[in-house]
Amino acid sequence: MCGRFVSASPPDEIAKYFDAQLGETLLDPDDPMAPSYNVAPTNEVFVVLESGETRRVETMRWGLVPFWAKDLSVGAKMINARAETIATKNAFKRSLAKRRCIIPADGFYEWKKVPGQKAKQPMYIHRADGDRFAFAGLWEIWRNPDKPDDEPLHTCTIITGAANDAIAPVHDRMPVMLPPEKWDTWLDPEVRDLALVSKLLVPAPASIIAMHPVSTEVNRVGNKGASLIEPVPEAPAADQTTLG
């Protein structure tokens, strides 16, 4: 899965990286979105999407709220969508057909079991070459049925699949990471062939992954600073020996 990630790159760098334009919400210099080294569910995140022939960087609420939902609280449970079932699940199949996106990330966190210890060791997972991840995502528009005159809410989810060999010792699932050669097909809203786009959702090569242990300070969603990704000594396994 993916429940926390790092979004520290400024929007203009993200736009340049994905050959995209900044959306209107990001053109206001007085309302920047601060870098976050601990993005959590329901936070605002950067999203790359296409409409017509325009590729844009926008912001959306993390946690997809289906258009038919009665209230937005369901979004907190839909931060991830399983690649194996998105083509058939009511919450995601409409978005898979015409509202696909990329969610940029500088890295993400998973929690590793430590033998003999109750607490898990947080691990920061990033690209070995220092580049950024392009997580496959879906987005949706939700309108509050109780307040039809309110502005619609744009929300998104990160697609996950089976872990590769690098991440499997920590977790059995990982975000789907799209290489540049797949971006055009994935983002094109005119591509409606679900079998075709589903074939893009495969694990990234283990060779691109690097990771290291980080402080348990990341466990608190209120902590957002850069120190969260600094390496720390890994928690030792408890001594399992007993005296007879």
- Read off the pLDDT of each residue in 15-31 and give the average, rounded to a whole number: 83
pLDDT reported for residue 152 = 94
Per residue in 196-214, pLDDT tens?
Answer: 999 999 999 999 999 999 9
Task: Catalogue all structural domains in the chain, each as residue range(s) with its CATH number.
Answer: 5-106+125-207 (3.90.1680.10)
- Which of the following is catalytic: 2, 50, 101, 156? 2
pTM greater than 0.85 (yes/no): yes
Per residue in 160-204, pLDDT tens?
Answer: 999 999 999 999 999 999 999 999 999 999 999 999 999 999 999
- Which of the following is catalytic: 50, 110, 140, 156? 110
Q: Which amino acid is at 133?
A: F
| Contact indicator for 76, 157 with CB cutoff of 8 Å | no
Active site residue 2: yes
Q: What is the DSSP string of the chain?
A: ----EEE-S-HHHHHHHTT-EEPGGG--TTSPPPPEEEE-TTSEEEEEEEETTEEEEEEEEES---TT-SSGGGGGG-SEEETTTTTT-TTTHHHHHH-EEEEEESEEEEEE--TT-SSPEEEEEEETTS--EEEEEEEEEE--TT-TTSPPEEEEEEEEEE--TTTTTT-SEEE-B--HHHHHHHH-TT---HHHHHTT--PPPGGGEEEEE--GGGGSTT--SGGGGS--PPPPPPP-----
| φ, ψ of residue 113 in degrees (nearest 5) | -70, 135
The bridge status of strand 100-105 relative to strand 209-213 is unpaired
Per residue in 38-48, pLDDT tens?
Answer: 999 999 999 99
Active site residue 50: no
- Read off the pLDDT of each residue in 137-152 and give the average, rounded to a whole number: 92
Instruction: Judge whether residue 24 has pLDDT over 60.
Output: yes
136 secondary structure, DSSP code: E
